[in-house]
Amino acid sequence: MPENIDPITLRRPDDWHVHLRDGVMLAAVLPFTIRQFARAIVMPNLVPPVADVAAAYAYRERIRAALPLGSDFAPLMTCYLTDTTEPEEVARGYEKGVFTAVKLYPAWATTNSAFGVIDYDRITPVLECMAGLGMPLLIHGEVTDPEVDVFDRESVFIDRVLDPLRRRLPELRIVLEHITTKEAVDYVTSAGPNLAATITAHHLVINRNAIFAGGIRPHLYCLPIAKREKHRLALRRAATSGDERFFLGTDSAPHAFPTKETACGCAGIFTAPCALEIYAEVFEEEAALDRLEAFASLNGPQFYRLPPNDARITLRRESFTVPQRIGEGDRAVVPFRAGETLRWRLQV
Ligand code: NCD
Ligand code: ZN
């Protein structure tokens, strides 16, 4: 690998998919996201879900109240789509600048998705309304059919749900979130400009073997679950390709460690403390550091039709050890790559 000791300067990046949670957890994890990112698409899977304008407005106020004085971090809110979401509510939220996008979780696909979509026919009016507005639909792309192998749920979703949906509504602008398979990469690459995808830092680093290396590793369990090595390599090629339809979304999803280190642990990997540093490591390994800015700071705003950030950040080649835990007691969260030393560090 070529030694690159020059610092990297980028336009300030954004995180196009993050779980900030609420209450005490929000206060604990928000500083990590705002250290790295200027804006973030905030997932609505709270309990109860953020499914109308009033809930999103109130949640945004709670996030803003948790920001340190003087922070210019901008939370971009999403509407949790249910079978009964009204098109008028979505349009009103979008026009008022409360909703940036709508999030589709298939019911029971992942954490707090029990209110998600069951009947795709029932959401057609909302999707038609969004297509008219140019409002993005963000999709957790996994089928929930228990007959389908957990490692195939993303590719089967593309065939059974996403492709028919796009054929019915080609003008709808869609982000396939946190893609994990070569099939998803190929599908997005073969589609037009109305389909994009986010890629997490962890799916660029681990394959499914990592979840079982020397014993079961609950902190590497997330949904969609990491796949075979060939898929990780396809994701690395997509992220570093310069193709503007692929951009950064960490899916940083903190869970307090007692809910991870247990007989039936939650899905979610907490990458916020070191996400950008990991992306930099991956781009360096792929000899594509010159494309990191497009992936992290330009392609996302372009898809969301927002201006890129004016401010710049600097990453220095400096070793940095990821903390073992963030927070105290039963509320502590174990970050991705806890205790490991990374090669890049964001300067603040
Ligand atoms: C997310 C969470 O914990 O909210 N978990 C995860 O594994 N990514 C939900 C999600 O985005 O699927
Ligand atoms: Zn997520």
- Whether the link from the prior residue into 31 is cis, omega within 30° of 0, is no
Please identify, by atom number, the ligand 1 atom nearest to the C-alpha of residue 221: 7
- For 48, counting Cβ atoms within 10 Å of its Cβ (0-12 exposed, 13-18 middle, 19+ buried), the class is exposed
Query: For the segment 222-255, what is each residue's pLDDT rounded down to a tens digit?
Result: 999 999 999 999 999 999 999 999 999 999 999 9
Please state the three-class secondary structure of 135-184 as a single string: CCEEECCCCCCCCCCHHHHHHHHHHHHHHHHHHHCCCCCEEECCCCCHHH
Nearest CA to ligand 1 atom 4: 111
The string of pLDDT tens digits covering residues 294-342 is: 999 999 999 999 999 999 999 999 999 999 999 999 999 999 999 999 9
Ligand 1: residue of 26, 154, 223 to mutate (most ligand atoms within 8 A of CB) is 223
What percent of the chain shows pLDDT beyond 70?
A: 99
- Torsion, Cα 247 99 348 71, to 10 degrees, reads 170
pLDDT digits 0-9 by tens, 181-222: 999 999 999 999 999 999 999 999 999 999 999 999 999 999
Q: Sorting pLDDT into bands at 50, 70 and 90, what band is 3? A: low
Strands 39-42 and 137-139: unpaired
Q: Per CATH, is 14-308 categorized as 3.30.470.20?
A: no
CA 71 to ligand 2 centroid distance, Å: 24
Is 108's pLDDT higher than 90? no
pTM of the model: 0.97
278 is written with which tokens?
A: 């990991």
User: Taking a C-beta distance cutoff of 8 angstroms, is the pair 273, 337 a contact?
Assistant: no
Q: Measure 20 CA to ligand 2 centroid, in angstroms.
A: 10
Phi, psi of 327 (to 5 degrees): 90, 180
Task: Say what the pLDDT of residue 1 is.
Answer: 46
Q: Round to whole Å and give the CA distance between 239 and 244.
A: 9
Domain ranges (residues) in the chain:
14-308
For residue 55, the CA-to-ligand 2 centroid distance in Å is: 19
Q: What is the mean pLDDT of residues 143-169?
A: 97
